[in-house]
Amino acid sequence: MANKIRVTVWGENVHEKEMPVVAKIYPKGMHGCIADGLAEDPGLEVKTATLDMPEHGLTEEVLAKTDVLTWWGHAAHDRVSDEIVWRVQTRVLEGMGLVVLHSGHYSKIFRRLMGTQCSLCWREADEIARHWICNPGHPIVQGIEGRYFEVPQDEMYGEPFAIPSPDEQIFIAHFEGGEVFRSGGVFRRQNGLIFYFQPGHETYPVYYQKEIKLVLKNAVHYIAPRGPLWKDSAPHIPPEQSPIPITKK
C-alpha cells in the first residue's frame, strides 16, 4: 500500500524492566504491545523507540520519517532531555501528529505543548472506566459499538484536569468511584494535532483491548499530517517584492 502513515511508538520502558507484574503483562514492553496493535492496520508502518536508546531513539532522522508519534511515559519524565523535547515540539508544530497516552499527561512534551500544569486526581483501585463518546460522528470513534466502551480495570483519573479546553472533546470517562474525566481530546498547535487518551495504566492489560486498539488506529489516521509541513520561517519581504503593492494616493 502506497503512502503508509509512518508511526513511531515511543515507550519509556522503565516499569517493564523494574516491575515483574508489568513485565508479565507486557513481555515485549508496553511500546511493543501498542506497536503490535497499530501494525494490524495495513495502512500503518510502525516502529518503536525507547528512552534508553541514544537520543531516546528520537534522532532528527527518525523524527523526519515519523508522521505520528505515540508517547507513553510515567516514572522517568525528568530523564527525557530538554533537547529532545524541543525537537519533538518543533516537529509537532510543523505538522507531525502526537498521541499522548495515560500518564504521559505529566510528560515534558505534553505540558510544554499545553502550556498548563496538566495535573489531575488519581486512584489505583481496579476500577471500571466507562468512556462515553462525545461525538458519534467523529472519525476517532468509528467502529465502537454503542454510546460508550468500558475498560474493565484501570487507574482512576479525575477532574480537575489542568489542561486548556480541547479543540475537540472525543471521550468523557466515568469511574466506579463516581469521578469524571475528560479522557480523550484533540488539540491543535500550529500545524500539528495532538490526541490525549487516558486509558493505559501499566499494571493492567489495557493496550490489548480491542476498543483501545481501534481508537489508537483511528487517532493515528485522524492526526497524521494531511498537507505540507509548516517549517518555521520569518522571511523579510522588501516593498518591491510585495505581491500586490498598495499605491499611495
Query: Which residues are near Zn ion by CB under 5 A?
Result: 103, 155, 201
Q: Which residue has the cell 468511584?
A: 177
- Min CB(201)–Zn ion separation in Å: 4
129 contacts 150 by C-beta, under 8 angstroms: yes
- Min CB(158)–Zn ion separation in Å: 13
Q: Cβ closer to Zn ion: 36 or 127?
A: 127
Sign, Cα dihedral of 218, 219, 221, 222:
positive
For Zn ion, which residue has the nearest CB?
201
- Min CB(242)–Zn ion separation in Å: 55
- Min CB(33)–Zn ion separation in Å: 15
88 contacts 184 by C-beta, under 8 angstroms: no
Rounded to whole angstroms, how far apart are CA atoms 156 and 1?
A: 40
Output the nine-digit C-alpha cell for 213: 486498539
Q: Cβ closer to Zn ion: 108 or 201?
A: 201
Q: Cβ closer to Zn ion: 163 or 224?
A: 163
Listed residue (215, 72, 216, 71) closest to 149, CA to CA: 215
- Min CB(94)–Zn ion separation in Å: 30
Q: Cβ closer to Zn ion: 172 or 206?
A: 206
List the alpha helices (DSSP H) in 19-73: 20-25, 29-39, 60-64
- Min CB(139)–Zn ion separation in Å: 27
Q: Cβ closer to Zn ion: 67 or 155?
A: 155
What is the H or E stretch that residue 88 is in? helix 82-94
Listed residue (172, 135, 167) closest to 157, CA to CA: 172
Q: What is the CA radius of gyration of the chain?
A: 19
Rounded to whole angstroms, how far apart are CA atoms 199 and 240?
A: 56
Helical axes 29-39 vs 210-223, angle rounded to 10°: 70
Q: Cβ closer to Zn ion: 96 or 120?
A: 120
Please provide residue 189's backbone torsions phi and psi, each rounded to the nearest 5 degrees: -130, 110
Q: Cβ closer to Zn ion: 95 or 200?
A: 200
- Min CB(78)–Zn ion separation in Å: 17
Listed residue (192, 200, 201) closest to 225, CA to CA: 192
